[in-house]
Amino acid sequence: MEHSAYSQQVRAVYDAMAAAPADSWRPAYHLTPLSGTLGDPNGLCQWGDTFHIFYVTSPLACRTKERTPCVWGHYTTRDFVHYRRQPVALWPDDRRDRDGVYSGSALLRDGKLYLYYTGNVRHHGDFDYIHAGREQNVLRAESTDGVHFTGKTLLMTNEDFPAWVTQHVRDPQWVQQNGKLYMLLGARTQEDEGCALVYESEDGTRFRHVNTLRTEQPFGFMWECPDYAVVDGQPLLIACPQGIPHETYRFANPHQCGCFPVDGPLSGQTTLGDFISFDYGFDYYAARTLKADDGRVLLFGWMGMSEADYGCNPCARNGWDQALSLPRELHWVNGALRQIPLRELQALRSAPHTAEGARGFTAHSRRCELVLHVKPDTDLTLRLLEDARLCYRAGEGVLTLDAGTVCGAGRTVRRMKLPRLQTLDLYLDGSTLEVFVNEGEAVLTTRLFGRDDTVAAEPFAGTLEFYTMNAFVLEDADADPVS
């Protein structure tokens, strides 16, 4: 697609959205697209004192039913409280990415920031777009300032991948291990089994296939968005398996997002442990990590779900849809994964209030944090917005999120096994809800679209803390988001 023509269309919709009235469904302390839809987080990195958060976005998506090419949007921050919306980083302006700039990652090397991504090309014709009709090209662009990217270079095409994989090979992710560079690519084999291809590179330009990561028994037909992180000494392979059979208490979404504990080097004999889900709610996918200079591993996810029955959200009528999740700090404690809210979020708290659970609690806010400390063997019921409910029944050991007929906008019920409930930390922001269970043992993420702003807890044994949450500060909000 010709860059200037597409950018003019994008500029027009961005200008229209900037002049649109305030939208109570739009989150205030989550990152959202100015216009259109938001997808996978990409290129997450820290360069000096600045964190870079790229993401797939389709600026025209909410204004047409036609397929529109995606671009890479870009936010930067130094403290996760003050943000800058940077110009579009990558456009589909090359024959090799004409149908969309798909997911990828960043590599800092020799004073430059390199972005590696999948260039999507869909040929017209009678194709299944699995075995034929699609190009999944690995491309690279570079920048000396972290904002303006040039010099697209084609690195790999479908012909460079093993013959035993389909044309579904995408989402390049850089990993550094033992002084070597590795690139992971999610793949679907000819036998419809998901895996991650491992390539070794000395210069970020030439690649050698050295390993394939897969489970002993097939686990889904495709693995998207692979990533790798060492969390408190435990290596983890992050992936989004597709095609997992649904169960009552897990794997309820169309596609999954989580990690496998890893035993062994990326380039050698490698064993993957049991899959760990990152989230038990309706809307969490395509998670990627950011390795901060202070040693923390931060997890970002797309607050959405492809191919879900609830599909298009009501806010799309207002010209935008979807958001990035709150960043999570990952920890590995006594052989188990823990995900806790980013500590910098505490700077957004205001108007603190504490109360005894026995009296119950009601507040009116669409942007708040509610922390509950629950005594053992206690039932709990929370009412959120119009008709959403979060309930724990100690006798059953089950936590249930009922999105409600109005709030759910097509979402129904999610359940998870929970032998004991000790704490809940809820973040409500416009049309987003994230619930951290037992200091990060589990998380539930969903969108909610009620018009009411009631947040209430029925009487329970325990205590609670309530905070109003301030909005992110968007600096240079009037800056040109296109170029």
Catalytic site positions:
40
First CA to last CA distance, the chain: 17
CB-CB contact of 204 with 216 (8 Å): no
> 121 is written with which tokens?
């090309």
User: Distance between CA atoms of 290 and 328, rounded to whole angstroms?
Assistant: 10
Could you please report the per-residue DSSP string of 351-376?
EEEEEEGGG-EEEE-SEEEEEEEE-T
Helix (H, G, I), strand (E, B) or coil at 95: helix
Taking residue 398's Cβ as centre, other Cβ atoms within 10 Å add up to 16
Distances (CA, A) of 183 to 19, 120, 204, 257, 330: 42, 18, 9, 20, 22
User: Distance of CA 57 to CAs 37, 52, 262, 315, 458, Å?
Assistant: 6, 16, 32, 16, 40
Q: How far is CA 91 from CA 59, 69, 152, 165, in A?
A: 11, 9, 11, 28
| Residue 138: Cβ-neighbour burial (10 angstroms; 0-12, 13-18, 19+) | buried
CA distance 429 to 26: 8
Q: What are the angstrom distances between the C-alpha of 283 and each of 91, 252, 286, 414, 426?
A: 27, 11, 10, 11, 15
Return d(Cα 92, Cα 99) in angstroms, integer. 7
Residue 350 phi/psi, 5-degree rounding, is -150, 170
Cβ atoms of 470 and 80 within 8 Å: the answer is no
Phi first, then psi, for residue 326 (nearest 5°) are: -65, 140
C-alpha closest to that of 251 among 416, 384, 26, 372: 416
Residue 81 Cα distances to 54, 145, 200, 267, 341, angstroms: 17, 22, 37, 39, 14
Selection from 165, 205, 215 nearest residue 185 by Cα: 165
Q: What is the dihedral of CA 353, 357, 362, 365, to 10 degrees?
A: 50
The letter for the amino acid at 295 is G
